[in-house]
A = this chain, B = another copy of it.
Amino acid sequence: MTSSTNVSRFHEARRVAIFGGTHGNEMSGVTLVNLWIQNGKEIQRKGVETKPFITNPRAVEKCTRYVDTDLNRAFTTENLSAPSGDDLPYEVQRAQQINETFGPKGSPEAYDVIFDLHNTTSNMGCTLILESSKDHFNLQMMHYIKVNLESVYSLSLCRFLNKNMIYLKVLNVFISGLEVGPQPQGVLRSNIFESMSEDDVVCCLYCVGLEFPPCTVDVFRVSEKMDYPRDTNGNIIAMVHPNLQDCDWEPLNPGDPMFQTFDGTTIRYEGAGTVYPTFINEAAYYEKQQAFVTTRRETLAAVFPMTQLKKNIDN
């Protein structure tokens, strides 16, 4: 990777992986990656080795999110350094295998970029998820994709959401987590398929060799995880309020309706200021005690000086 006068270039990305089926019931990524495994012409770029890969084949076969544990939370240092064996949960075994194949981070044989394709039942549109506001190269690339693609609705920073959420943390330098919804689990909708295939992944590959000038980037930074209201036994006693349902990325102000109890009582948002909820009523997050996350809008300056670049490469 080179940089001159704060211009970032993506031409050192020689090996790019595209992951589908990290959650086996998120059908757009599963379908696209399977199609590309059969015929990779659409994702081939000169000078780039592109590898489409089904990360959780058993979950895909069962059309379920995971078999033993959530693969997208399994890339912990502890899991990756555990003695391997069949007695480990299936997804921990997979995490170790994926780490060996596409990592380990910092090794010469590690892949340069991973695109990880996800669907959500939330009405989030097309969202690129980054982990770090300090990764200026990634920010510039995401900004480039967003301004060139009307379908990309939002950039979200999830670094504070879950420290083990993103592969990047352990595996690689550059990653784009892509969430597209709404789409029910186990369903393939043509509109979601189109926006994921034509616009995003393939466009990311076109970034290879492009120069990204310094820019400012509007992002939603994840702030707080909001659980459903519960009784003393832990049972959910309210639903996402109809005024909030499907309103991902729209402002939620103090006093706005947030939940509705089963007997019709409105529970209002009591935070200190305006937030922008997302992952609203995502099916997979009921078990994670999460009704939605709040985010706050932020504008970041993405300038990629050589020193930062060098540091990123070295790390």
Looking across the interface, which residue of chain B has its beta carbon closest to that of A64? B64
For chain A, the count of residues having a C-beta within 8 Å of the partner chain is 31
A262 touches which one: B35, B241, B242 (CB < 8 A)? B35
Task: Describe A's contact surface by its main secondary structure.
Answer: loop
Looking across the interface, which residue of chain B has its beta carbon closest to that of A38? B235
Given A184-B121, A184-B184, A262-B31, A190:B286 Cβ within 8 A: no
Flag if B283 contacts A184 (CB, 8 Å). Answer: yes
Flag if A63 contacts B185 (CB, 8 Å). Answer: no
Flag if A245 contacts B189 (CB, 8 Å). Answer: yes
Point out which of A193, A236, A283 has the most chain B C-beta atoms below 10 A from its C-beta. Answer: A283
Instruction: Verify if A260 is at the interface (C-beta below 8 Å from B).
Output: yes
Instruction: Verify if A281 is at the interface (C-beta below 8 Å from B).
Output: yes
Given A245-B191, A262-B31, A63:B287 Cβ within 8 A: yes
Residues of B within 8 A of A191 (CB): 242, 245
* Whole-angstrom distance between the Cβ of A79 and the nearest chain B Cβ: 23
Instruction: Verify if A247 is at the interface (C-beta below 8 Å from B).
Output: no
A189 touches which one: B187, B193, B281, B286 (CB < 8 A)? B281
Residues of B within 8 A of A67 (CB): none
Residues of B within 8 A of A284 (CB): 186
* Whole-angstrom distance between the Cβ of A229 and the nearest chain B Cβ: 13
Instruction: Verify if A59 is at the interface (C-beta below 8 Å from B).
Output: no
Residues of B within 8 A of A189 (CB): 239-240, 245, 281
What CA separation (Å) do A272 and B164 show in the bound complex? 55
Return the 7 tightest CB-CB contacts between A and B, nearest first.
A184-B184, A186-B283, A121-B184, A190-B239, A187-B283, A190-B242, A184-B283
Return 24 A-B CB contacts under 8 Å, by A number: A31-B262, A63-B286, A63-B287, A64-B64, A121-B184, A182-B184, A184-B184, A184-B185, A184-B187, A185-B185, A185-B186, A185-B283, A186-B284, A186-B286, A187-B282, A187-B283, A187-B286, A188-B239, A188-B281, A190-B240, A190-B241, A190-B245, A191-B245, A193-B262
Q: Which residues of A contact B (CB under 8 A)?
A: 31, 34-35, 63-64, 121, 182, 184-191, 193, 235-236, 239-242, 245, 260, 262, 281-284, 286-287
